[in-house]
Chains A and B, each alone.
Chain A
C-alpha cells in the first residue's frame, strides 16, 4: 500500500518537474492553428531531439500527436518512402537510388561527430589517423605498438546499416578495410557498453553519446569535442537529416522549421549535437 503510494507520489513529482522545465518555449505559435498527427522513424541518434521537440509541441497544442520511433537510417528511408511515416530520419545523406525511387526531400538540421573510443583505463590518449587505419585494418594488433600495455587489441565495429560506421569509414578510415575478425555491435549504446567493459578495446561512436565511462581519443591532435567539430579542427563529422516524401504537409513543415529554427537549437545542443544554422 505504502509502496503504491510512494510510487504515485514519485510519478506526481516527475510530472510537476517536467511541467516546470518545459513551461517556457515561445516559438510554438506556428502550431496554434494546426491539428493532426506526425509519425517519425529512423536514425537512433535523432531520437532525443525528436522526442524533446515532440513533447514541447504536444504540450503547447494538444490537438497535435507526434510519435517517434527508431530503427536506424535504412529503416527511416524505407518507412518514409513507403508512406508509413511522415518523417524518416537518417544519419547519412540519401543515395541517388533512394532519392530517385521514392522522391525524397532531405532537411539537414545538425552536425554530429564520430569519435574513436577506448576504455578509460587505457593510457593511450591520442593517435594519428594512419595509426587508427592500421588498427582497424588489423595490421597493428597490440597496444604495445602504440605506447600502451602489452595486450592484444580487441576491435569493435558497427553493422553495415549504421550511419556512424559509414562516416567513420569514409572520413577517418578513408574507405580502408575493417578487419573481419572485429566484433560487430548493433547500436551506439551497445558500443558504449562493450567498450566500457573491455580494457583492451577500441571502437567508435557518436560524440553525442560520449561520457566518462569511455574515453574519446584525439585524432591527429584534435580532441573529439563539440567545439573542435564547430571550429573545423575535428574532421570526422556528419550531418543528421530529416527526410520527407515530396513536399511536406503544413504540419510536418512546421515541425521541421521548429527543429531547424532558433527553438530547436537548445534541443540539439542538449542532445550533444551541433545545430546547423
Chain B
C-alpha cells in the first residue's frame, strides 16, 4: 500500500510539473474558444436585427403584425405562424410531458424490474433517431390513418403534435432521469430508515424534491418542440392559418422560414423572414436562460433539512 501511494504522488508530481507551463496556454485557448462562441451568438443576434430593421419600420410593421399571409397582396402577416408555433409546441408538450413523468417513475421503480433496462435503452436510442425519419414514417403511416379515420387531408396539427411529442419524449425523460438518479443515490437509505416503501419514497419523497427538474424538463421539451422544423414542415400541412380544430392544417415559424427562404431576396417577403428569425431567436434565448437558472439552482448543493 505504501508503494502505491508513493507511486501515485510521484506520478501526480510529474504530471503537474509537465502541466504547469502549458496550463496557462490551455486555459487561454479554452477561454478564447468560449469568447468566440459567445461572440458568434451575439453576432447572429445583431445580424438578425440588422436585416429585420427594414421590416420593423412602423408602416411595414403593420403588414407584419397581421393575421393574413398574402405576399402577393402586400400582406405579410406572421401572427398565424407565431400562434401555430406556440400551439404545436404546447400541445406536443401536453402529450409528452405526463407520459415522460410516468416513464421516468416507471424506470425508477414503479414498473417491473425486467422492463427498466430495455426501456432506458430504447429512450437513449430514440434520442439518436434523426427527425426526418420520424417525419417520413409519420407521413406514410400516421397521415393516411388520420385521413381515413376522420375527414380532411391528414396533414394536420394533430399529426404534427403526435409525432413531435414522440420526438421530445426522450428529452423529457432523460432530463428527469438526470435529476432522479442523484436524489435517489443520496436519499435512498434515509427513506428506508424512515420506513417508506420504495413506491412511497419515489412518489412522496423523490418526486416532490425533483420539482425543479420537473420544471426544467418541461422548459427543455418546449424549447426542443418550438425549434423543430422538419416535423411541422412535413406533417402540419403548412396552411398559414390559425387552426380551429386539431385536424386543421397549421404553419410554424420554422416551417415558414424553410418554405419562404428561397424567394426573391430583394422582396419584402424575404425581409419578413428575418423578423421570424428574430422571434425564434428570442424564444430560444428565453428558454435557455430560464433553463440555466433552473439547473443552476438544482446543481447547487441543497442544505439538508
Give residues 25-51 of B contacting A (CB, 8 Å).
none
- List, in ascending order, chain A residues with CB within 8 A of B238's CB: 159, 183-185
B270 and chain A: residue at smallest CB distance? A74
23 pairs of residues in contact across A and B, judged by CB atoms under 8 Å: A72-B262, A74-B261, A74-B262, A98-B264, A154-B152, A159-B259, A159-B263, A160-B72, A161-B261, A161-B262, A180-B69, A180-B241, A181-B241, A183-B153, A184-B237, A184-B259, A186-B258, A186-B259, A193-B139, A197-B140, A197-B143, A198-B147, A201-B153
Q: Is the Cβ of B237 less than 8 Å from the Cβ of A97? A: no
Give residues 221-264 of A contacting B (CB, 8 Å).
none
Residue A205, interface by CB 8 Å: no
- List, in ascending order, chain A residues with CB within 8 A of B266's CB: 95, 97-98, 101
Q: How far is the CA of A187 from the CA of B88 in the complex (A)?
A: 23
The 8 A-B residue pairs with the shortest CB-CB distance, nearest first, are A72-B262, A161-B262, A184-B238, A74-B262, A154-B153, A159-B259, A161-B263, A183-B237
Q: A180-B241, A184-B251 are in contact. Are A194 and B260 (CB under 8 A)?
A: no
- List, in ascending order, chain A residues with CB within 8 A of B63's CB: none
Q: How far is the CA of A201 from the CA of B143 in the complex (A)?
A: 14
B258 and chain A: residue at smallest CB distance? A186
Q: How far is the CA of A97 from the CA of B152 in the complex (A)?
A: 40
Chain A interface helix/strand/loop/mixed: mixed
Minimum C-beta distance from B277 to chain A (A): 16
Q: A78-B265, A180-B241 are in contact. Are A186 and B144 (CB under 8 A)?
A: no
Q: How far is the CA of A78 from the CA of B270 in the complex (A)?
A: 12
Q: How far is the CA of A174 from the CA of B151 in the complex (A)?
A: 30
- List, in ascending order, chain B residues with CB within 8 A of A69's CB: none
List chain A positions with a Cβ less than 8 A from chain B.
71-75, 77-78, 81, 95, 97-98, 101, 152, 154, 156, 159-161, 175, 177, 180-186, 193-194, 197-198, 200-201
Q: How far is the CA of A71 from the CA of B261 in the complex (A)?
A: 10
Other A-B pairs, 4, CB within 8 Å; known A161-B259, A197-B140:
A73-B262, A98-B264, A175-B72, A186-B259
Minimum C-beta distance from B216 to chain A (A): 34
Residue B97, interface by CB 8 Å: no
Minimum C-beta distance from B194 to chain A (A): 58
Q: Is the Cβ of B258 less than 8 Å from the Cβ of A160? A: no
Q: Is the Cβ of A160 less than 8 Å from the Cβ of B269? A: yes
Residue of B153, B251, B269 ringed by the most chain A CB atoms within 10 A: B153
B155 and chain A: residue at smallest CB distance? A183
